[in-house]
Amino acid sequence: MKTSNVIREIKSRFPNEPEYYQAIEEVLESIEETYNEHPEFEKANLIERLIIPDKIISFRVTWVDDTGQVRTNMGYRVQHNNAIGPYKGGIRFHASVSPGILKFLAFEQTFKNALTTLPLGGGKGGSDFSPREKSDGEIMRFCQAFVEGLWRNIGHNTDVPAGDIGVGGREVAYMFGKYKKLAGEFTGTFTGKGFEFGGSLIRPEATGYGNVYFLCEMLKTQNIKLEGKKCLISGSGNVAQYTCEKLIEFGAIPVSMSDSDGYIYDPNGITIEKLAYLKELKNLYRGRIREYAEEFDCKYVAGSRPWGEKGDIALPSATQNEINGDDARHLVSNGVIAVSEGANMPCTPEAIDLFHEKKILFAPGKAANAGGVSVSGLEMTQNSERYSWTAEQVDEKLKWIMSNIHESCIKYGTEPDGYVNYVKGANIAAFMKVAKAIMAQGIL
């Protein structure tokens, strides 16, 4: 197998899906050597069977807005691979959603889920619907219409969706309710549910907390303390909020957050009180990050991202390709020591290459943000048991999983000079698990 040949072939078969090629290329470059040590993989055409999703469901979503106008969007579910468990992954509602974006996310999810130690396959879904400035009634009607198009293809042993950009507890609850009604069953077919109806404690916190646990593991290898470190966070949604919360608890100083309109920079640090304001602003009033700067009289930069500011650690937690080569050069020249991806694929290949060249601790999303789907997996376990664990029990398991993922990265990613290439480590560890499962189950 030669990565460049595979990418050329994929580009010609599936045109105009740049994020999908980017995600595949990164993985193939990491695993090429290992893969070529196994001629049986090539004989079984494992690469194409791993790269091309099992199934893509696509449907029109028809809904009525508050003015009575009938609107349409597209809905999709990419069921990428179920070799090690039912398809599992979030639903994204954002204007930028396309089959190519969801194919990259579902591919990443398959590898991420393999790292969690839990029996979870990979999938992702979503719609080009933008929740921005929609009323609660419009959100509910849209979620219900979306599930109407999807419900026959999902199920607690088949495919278990959850949240992602634009889909949080409110949207999961609406989708779960509609699914329950259509399917006539109460099962754990969605995760990220409210605690009252089968959700797991710590699921809302899990991605952000997990990312900080992973960061601590990386810092520990260099005997560096998180305490007192200035942290640049992007995003102000689910992942960013709980990343910020755990950083504060561990004595770090988060100094930035953002949304798609701009970023705030608060040099004295976002405190737990300020974070409480931000959570209410974002989760309850659906406000803009600019209002934080107005409330606390700090810097706000419209139309920009925080990577030009000075920070010791960067935790991109908004969206894909939000740190490019120039951003990475700014971070490096400002002395960044670690970058840990809360979002999926937030760093471009050029940025990652620079971090590796400068021997900066760099955690890829499929390792660092795996805490969210891990606790989703634990929610599935609790639903099957018809039981709920305490927050402490779930948090302990989350910590164990993140440390286990870190160990796998060390095992497969340590280079001769001792530097850990976490990208390579995560990709090889996940690939070997999925590859063995696909091979064992025959030609499908």
Which positions touch ligand 2IT (CB under 6 A)?
A: 88-90, 109, 112, 162, 164, 191, 344, 372-373, 376
368 binds ligand NDP (CB under 6 A): no
CB of 11 to ligand NDP, least distance (A): 24
Nearer to ligand 2IT, 3 or 81 (CB): 81
* CB of 90 closer than 8 Å to CB of 163: yes
From start to end of 199-341, where are the E strands? 230-233, 253-259, 262-265, 299-302, 313-315, 338-340
366 is catalytic: no
* CB of 344 closer than 8 Å to CB of 318: no
191 binds ligand NDP (CB under 6 A): no
Q: What angle do CA 293, 297, 298 make, to 5 degrees?
A: 65
Nearer to ligand NDP, 91 or 331 (CB): 91
User: Residue 426 binds which entry of ligand 2IT, ligand NDP, none, with Cβ cut-offs from 5 to 8 Å by kind?
Assistant: none
How far is it, in rounded angstroms, from Cα 333 to Cα 295? 31
For 127, which DSSP code? E
Catalytic residue among 88, 103, 124, 178: 124
User: Residue 402 binds which entry of ligand 2IT, ligand NDP, none, with Cβ cut-offs from 5 to 8 Å by kind?
Assistant: none
Q: What type of residue sits at position 420?
A: V
User: Residue 82 binds which entry of ligand NDP, ligand 2IT, none, with Cβ cut-offs from 5 to 8 Å by kind?
Assistant: none
Nearer to ligand NDP, 35 or 166 (CB): 166
Nearer to ligand NDP, 92 or 433 (CB): 92
Q: What type of residue sits at position 431?
A: F
How many Cα neighbours within 13 Å face the side chain of 177? Answer: 14
Phi, psi for 242 (deg, rounded to 5): -85, -20
The runs of H, that is alpha helices, within 151-235 are 169-183, 203-221
Residue 170, SS3?
helix
User: Residue 191 binds which entry of ligand 2IT, ligand NDP, none, with Cβ cut-offs from 5 to 8 Å by kind?
Assistant: ligand 2IT
**Contacts for 196 with CB less than 8 Å, ≥ 6 apart:** none
Nearer to ligand NDP, 119 or 262 (CB): 262
- The residue to which tokens 């302990």 are assigned: 396
CB of 307 to ligand NDP, least distance (A): 12
CB of 202 to ligand NDP, least distance (A): 12
User: Residue 259 binds which entry of ligand 2IT, ligand NDP, none, with Cβ cut-offs from 5 to 8 Å by kind?
Assistant: ligand NDP
CB of 109 to ligand 2IT, least distance (A): 6
Residue from 79, 207, 348, 421 touching ligand NDP (CB under 6 A): that is 207
Nearer to ligand NDP, 30 or 369 (CB): 369
Pick the piece of the chain touching ligand NDP (CB under 6 A) from 45-53, 339-347, 426-434, 435-443: 339-347
Task: Please give the structure tokens belonging to residue 218.
Answer: 């990386």
144 binds ligand NDP (CB under 6 A): no
235 binds ligand NDP (CB under 6 A): yes
* CB of 172 closer than 8 Å to CB of 163: yes
Per-residue burial over 100-134, b if 16 or more Cβ lie within 10 Å, else e, is bbbbbbbbbbbbbbbbbbbebbbbbbbbbbebeeb
CB of 350 to ligand 2IT, least distance (A): 23
Contact residues toward ligand NDP (CB under 6 A) are: 163-166, 168, 207, 235-240, 259-261, 317-319, 342-344, 369, 372
Active-site residues, by number, are 124
